[in-house]
């Protein structure tokens, strides 16, 4: 019985700790008056006496599903693809829930009310996601930590520290390290080959290619 409980904790603790809190960036939409006042200016080029408007287009990256000559590398990539397909929607869903929570916290009158609400949110996250997390692997938990950093531009450790204090952040980080994970893990597709592959996979998901 004790072994079973410990195994469940090992599969879920990294995932659940990374879901506690996150703060996304917000951009306000301009009102209708501002939208009506927008003026777009195009550059122009003169060709044979004719003035032709020209525009500088953004670079667009196009990805395709990778294939490897090595069967071992192919299996590893296919496993990563399956994990991203499973965990990316969870990261987006949790982010949405926490965005709503963050906005609601701004309407509460004092720290006591905010702390009480955060406790309710934390309990709700456990109740809602525990059945899902029990079916996840530790590798998927580590991936979710990266995806939280991708979505929020802050590590899970920094987010926990900011919202519920440094003591709990250090406690969760120590606990995570027992399973070979870290809540301080950053998502870095520019310098990490695996993260670059994750970014490609997410692009394909967002463009309905997976």
- Cα separation of 14 and 133, whole Å? 10
* Residue-wise pLDDT tens digits, 22-46: 333 333 444 555 545 555 555 777 7
**128: which 2 tokens?**
């809602």
- Cα separation of 165 and 171, whole Å? 10
pTM score over 0.85 = no
* Residue-wise pLDDT tens digits, 98-156: 788 888 888 999 989 988 888 888 788 778 888 887 888 999 989 999 998 998 888 88
Kindly calculate the radius of gyration of the chain based on its CA atoms and give it in whole angstroms. Answer: 22
């Amino acid at each position: 019985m004790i072994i079973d409980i410990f195994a469940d904790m090992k599969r879920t603790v990294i995932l659940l700790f990374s879901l506690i809190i996150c703060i996304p960036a917000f951009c306000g939409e301009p009102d209708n008056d501002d939208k009506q006042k927008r003026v777009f200016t195009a550059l122009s080029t003169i060709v044979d006496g004719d003035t032709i408007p020209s525009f500088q287009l953004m670079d667009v990256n196009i990805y395709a599903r990778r294939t490897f000559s090595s069967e071992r590398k192919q299996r590893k990539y296919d496993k990563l693809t399956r994990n991203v397909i499973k965990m990316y929607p969870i990261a987006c869903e949790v982010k949405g829930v926490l965005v709503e929570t963050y906005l609601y916290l701004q309407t509460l009158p004092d720290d006591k009310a905010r702390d009480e609400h955060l406790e309710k949110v934390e309990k709700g996250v456990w109740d809602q996601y525990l059945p899902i997390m029990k079916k996840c692997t530790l590798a998927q938990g580590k991936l979710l930590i990266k995806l939280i950093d991708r979505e929020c531009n802050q590590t899970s450790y920094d987010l926990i520290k900011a919202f519920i204090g440094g003591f709990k952040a250090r406690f969760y980080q120590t606990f995570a390290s027992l399973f070979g994970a870290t809540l301080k893990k950053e998502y870095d597709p520019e310098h990490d080959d695996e993260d670059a592959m994750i970014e490609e996979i997410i692009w394909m998901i967002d463009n309905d290619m997976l």
